[in-house]
Amino acid sequence: MASAAELDRPSDALENFRAEVRDWLAANFPASLMGKGNALASVEGPTEETPEMTAWRKAMGEKGWGVPTWPKEYGGGGLSRAEAKVLADEMARVDAWNPIGGMGVMMFGPTLLEYGNEAQKREHIPAIAKGEIRWCQGYSEPNAGSDLANLQTFAEDKGDHYVVNGQKTWTSGGQWADKCFCLVRTDKTEKHKGISFLLIDMTAPGVEVKPIKMISGMSPFCETFFTDVKVPKENLVGEEGQGWTIGKRLLQHERTNLSGGGSRLMPSGPGLPDVAKKYVGTDAEGRIADADLRARIAKFEMDWRAFLLTAMRIQAESKAKGGVSEVSSILKTIGTKLGQERAELTIEIQGLQGLGWEGEGFSEAEIHSVRAWLFGKATTIYGGSTEIQNNVIAKRILGMLDHQ
Amino acid sequence: MAVLNEEQTMLRDMAREWTRNESPVTAWRKVRDADTATGYDPNVYNEMAQMGWAGIVIPEAQGGSDFGWLSLGLVIEELGRTLTASPLSASAVAAAAIVLGGSDAQKDAWLPRIASGELVATFALDEGPRHDPENIKTEVSGGKLSGTKAFVAEGDSAGLFVVAAADGLYLVDGNQAGVSRSRRHLTDFRSHADVTFDAVEADKLANGGDKLIDQVLDRARVVASAEMLGMAQQAFETTLDYLKQRRQFDQVLSTFQALQHRMASLFSDIELMRSAVEAGLAAIDAGGDTRQAALLAKTKANEVGHAMSREMIQLHGGIGMTDEYDAGFYLKRMRVLEAVWGNTAYLRDRFARLGGY
């Protein structure tokens, strides 16, 4: 088992690479963009790009470093994991952020690299690597949430193309996306084997999106309606009927990414102990004045560290064995649970000041923590709810079967 | 459910019928969408006052019915179920301060107007975002009161403030120069305001003695708990109905044992919450030292209300996250009520201190 220290061990080659990264960042990342990355783009929508931001995105895109471990031939960085970690460390050191992101990077790209044909990879991967095309996910439907395989959106075979009709919901970023990777039904007689993985152009005639307002006041999701949408057959990934397999594989990538669901929504500012010291105060020995709160913060900090160690261990083991570990299910359940705990603690610490909706009496950070707390309630629901993840753990990992 | 007398049963039934017919959650949604500083519909409060609710804890001599706190709790529980916004709780708590600590002249001057619903009153205690009654900076000097109170419930519409100063409670007429209010827009979209008193006329509630502030706080805590009880009960029932109706994997969700056990556990917790809240209300009617009963009521309300409002969202899944659905309202209001008059950590600490450990 690799320890944290081993992952960090430097080598000469890596040190040379580190020097190269430093030089390149010094030449390409302007100090004026420090900390200006929009970590919440997937929730609050893309930020208006300044010319400097565009230049930075293009520079990273050319280098392929937005997707550092993807193959070079499709526009990726072609880096080893160790090199990618050096890149991430060096970027963090100068407060640089990755301008290439979204569902294309997190989920669709890795899946297409595995299942797409050569023409599809050449068409779609470089555009993702350069941050030119935004992807959204067309999975859930009003009656296909946790029971995703119950989806009814139908792609009718018309020879050289399909005609798609149906409704998707919870389409993340649907209103901002250029293209959608979709699970559709190509066969109504088989539940799982009737599903196919299809790429749909969001600008095609017959595609309509309607944003859904959430309890946080934000609208990061949409309802998406397909009415007689013509989709060329070249846009089928894999074979007809292979959609469930491909779609599930993509969800493994999603879960790996969402395990930070809480952390992604965590403000980058001070940690809980500092927030508590500020709002609650300290005793003569510098301890958080509220002993009960202090104990719960300590518990959270320890749980969070144990979670990060587990994430590192799973990553190391997956790398050793090859492929994504099924244990990734526990990362999502635990990561999202801890993210929600942190959000609840944050608002508790701040008292009523931590429950502000708007107005001058609240700082940006305070308002943000409220919206993140509310939106964070979705993290244990989307991307496979905690209940579904626990089913996966019980059935696939533990072999606990349903009533026979 | 507490054993109710005939009067209380009638009151409860009337409140239940009225909230369901006249003030369902859709009515709150309209108030929320209007997004006014006042945070409630004055016509609705007027209707409530006409049914006598604003005078439930006010003596008959001053125009109330003196039905008591358990009776008031029954009404507030029903209002909590449908998230009916009104200054009923705030006014009742402020009225209690006058009943307990006021002179005959003070009672005659203010209580009839509160009982009729014409006047909104509120208890202004805390000076920061976290409940901290031991640190009151507001002072009275030369007969004039100065200080700032934070997040005062119904602070935007209150005509009378019962203000906690370092040496006791004072009545402050809100309609005088030197009283300024600034709305604090919280997630629950109800009225909360920072209120500054700059050398204002203040009339001390001199008859209550040292225990007055604790006695008023006990009432504030049980009244908040009653609202939380109604909210938790409704959140539970709405969730149960949804689980019995939503189908996934070709069966209704309520057939899944994992969900059955969670609902059974929440059901049990709400029963404990109900016992604690009703006992807190009844303790105040009985008199004597009510501190422990009030601490217990609010602590259980905080704990169970927190869990139930969280589970309401999770058990509904995606639909529960949408603004179009009501679950978010219960979550947001619940967290505000958890924070007022003592969060769980604060209340546990007080409970232990009171027990001498």
CB-based burial label for B110 (10 Å; 0-12, 13-18, 19+): buried
A292 closest CB neighbour out of B317, B339, B345: B345
pLDDT at A317: 82
Whether A292 sits inside 8 A of B349 (CB atoms) is yes
Q: Which of residues 292-321 of B touch A (CB under 8 A)?
A: 310, 313-314, 317-318, 320-321
Contact call for A382 and B318, based on CB within 8 A: yes
Distance of residue B277 Cα from the nearest chain A Cα, in angstroms: 22
* Concatenated DSSP letters of A173-237: TTTT-SEEEEEEES-SS-SSTTEEEEEEETTSTTEEEEEE-BTTS---EEEEEEEEEEEEGGGEE
Average pLDDT over chain A reads: 89
Nearest alpha carbon to residue A184 among A233, A225, A244: A244
Cα B72 to Cα B182: distance, rounded to the nearest angstrom: 30
pLDDT value, residue A263: 40
Q: Considering only alpha carbons, which residue of chain A is nearest residue B330?
A: A215
How close does chain A come to B318, measured CA to CA in Å?
6
Interface test with A, best of B35, B126, B130 (most A CBs within 10 A): B130
CB B298, CB B224: distance < 8 Å: yes
Cβ contact A292–B194 (<8 Å): no
Quick one: pLDDT at residue B158?
98
Mutate to test the interface with A, among B134, B187, B256 (most CBs of A within 10 A): B187
C-beta neighbour count of A368 within 10 angstroms: 16
Nearest CA in chain B to A347: B335
DSSP-H helix ranges across B254-343: 257-286, 291-316, 327-339
CATH number of A4-100: 1.10.540
Among candidates B185, B317, B346 on the partner chain, residue whose Cβ is nearest the Cβ of A358:
B185
Q: Which domains does chain B have, with CATH numbers?
A: 6-115 (1.10.540.10), 121-204 (2.40.110.10), 212-354 (1.20.140.10)
CB contact under 8 Å between A352 and B183, yes or no, is no
The alpha-carbon gap from B161 to the nearest alpha carbon of chain A, in Å, equals: 20
Query: Which residue, B330, B231, B85, is CA-closest to A215?
Result: B330
Measuring CA to CA, which residue among B220, B338, B225 is closest to residue A354? B338
The answer to whether the CB atoms of A150 and B259 lie below 8 A apart is no
A80: number of Cβ within 10 Å: 14
For residue B154, give the nearest of B45, B263, B250, B256 by alpha carbon: B45
Helix/strand/coil (H/E/C) assignment for every residue in A356-391: EEECCCCCHHHHHHHHHHHHHHHHHCCCCCHHHHHH
Q: Which residues of B62-79 are buried (b: 16+ CB within 10 A; e: fewer)?
A: bbbbebbbbbbbbbbbbb
- Hey, which residues 159-218 in chain B have their CB within 8 Å of chain A? 182-189, 192, 194
How far is the CA of B328 from the CAs of A162, B88, B308, B314, in angstroms? 40, 23, 12, 11
Note the pLDDT of residue A264: 41
8 Å CB contact of B323 and A217? yes
**Would you kindly state where each structural domain of chain A is located, as residue ranges?**
4-100, 135-243, 259-397
- Please state, as a whole number, how many other Cβ atoms lie within 10 Å of the Cβ of residue A129: 29
Query: Do A348 and B343 lie within an 8 Å CB cutoff?
Result: yes
The CB-side HSE value for B59 (13 A sphere, CA atoms) comes to 11
Is A293 in Cβ contact with B248 (below 8 Å)? no
The minimum CA-CA distance between B247 and chain A, rounded to whole Å, is 8
CA atoms within 13 A on the CB side of B280: 33
CATH fold group of domain A135-243? Butyryl-CoA Dehydrogenase, subunit A; domain 2 (2.40.110)
Which of these, A267, A285, A288, lies nearest to A277 by C-alpha position? A288
In A9-151, which ranges are continuous DSSP H helix? 12-28, 41-44, 51-63, 81-93, 103, 109-115, 118-129
Domains A135-243 and A259-397 share a fold: no
In CATH, what number does A259-397 get? 1.20.140.10
Distance of residue A97 Cα from the nearest chain B Cα, in angstroms: 30
Q: Give the span between the Cα atoms of B119 and B123, in whole angstroms.
A: 13
The pLDDT tens digits for A266-283 are 445 578 999 999 999 999
A359 contacts in chain B (CB < 8 Å): 183-185
CB pair distance less than 8 Å for A381 and B186? no
Closest partner CB to B313 (pick from A217, A377, A387): A377
The answer to whether B294 touches B221, Cβ cutoff 8 Å, is: yes
Four-point Cα dihedral B232, B235, B236, B242, nearest 10? 180
A to B CB pairs, distance under 8 Å: 122
Stretches where chain A sits below pLDDT 50 are 1-7, 260-267
| CA–CA dist B21, B18 (Å, integer) | 5
**Ordered per-residue pLDDT tens for chain B, 357 residues:** 678 999 999 999 999 999 999 999 999 999 999 999 999 999 999 999 999 999 999 999 999 999 999 999 999 999 999 999 999 999 999 999 999 999 999 999 999 999 999 999 999 999 999 999 999 999 999 999 999 999 999 999 999 999 999 999 999 999 999 999 999 999 999 999 999 999 999 999 999 888 999 999 999 999 999 999 999 999 999 999 999 999 998 999 999 999 999 999 999 999 999 999 999 999 999 999 999 999 999 999 999 999 999 999 999 999 999 999 999 999 999 999 999 999 999 999 999 999 999
Contact A140 B318 (CB under 8 A): yes
B311 to chain A, closest Cα gap in Å: 10
Residue B70 Cα, gap to closest chain A Cα (Å): 28
B150 → chain A, closest CA residue: A352
To the question of pTM greater than 0.90 for the whole model, the response is: no
What pLDDT score does B76 carry?
98
Query: For residue B187, which residues of chain A lie inside 8 Å, CB to CB?
Result: 355-357, 370, 374
CB pair distance less than 8 Å for A378 and B345: no
Active site residues of A: 254
What is the distance in angstroms between the Cα of A217 and the nearest Cα belonging to chain B?
7
- B352–chain A Cβ distance below 8 A for any pair: no
Helix (H) or strand (E) holding B200: strand B192-201
Contact criterion met (CB < 8 Å) for A378 and B247 = no
Q: Which of A147, A347, A359 sits opposite B248 (nearest CB)?
A: A147
- Residues of A near B (Cβ–Cβ under 8 Å) read 140, 143, 145-147, 150, 169-170, 212-215, 217, 279-280, 290-293, 296, 347-348, 350-359, 361, 370, 374, 377-378, 380-382, 385-387, 390
| CB atoms B129 and A350 under 8 Å | yes
Residues A41 and A175 sit within 8 Å (Cβ to Cβ) = no
The pLDDT of residue A262: 36
Contact check, Cβ <8 Å, A143/B247: yes
Distance CA B35, CA B188 (A): 10
Tokens 């509310």 appear where? A374
Residues written for chain A: 404
Which pLDDT belongs to residue A269? 58
Residue numbers in B near A279 (CB within 8 A): 129-130
Residue of B nearest to A191 (CA): B249
SS3 of residue B166 by DSSP: coil
- Nearest CA among A341, A284, A350, A277 for reference residue A307: A341
C-alpha gyration radius of chain A: 22
Element (H, E) at B47: helix B42-50
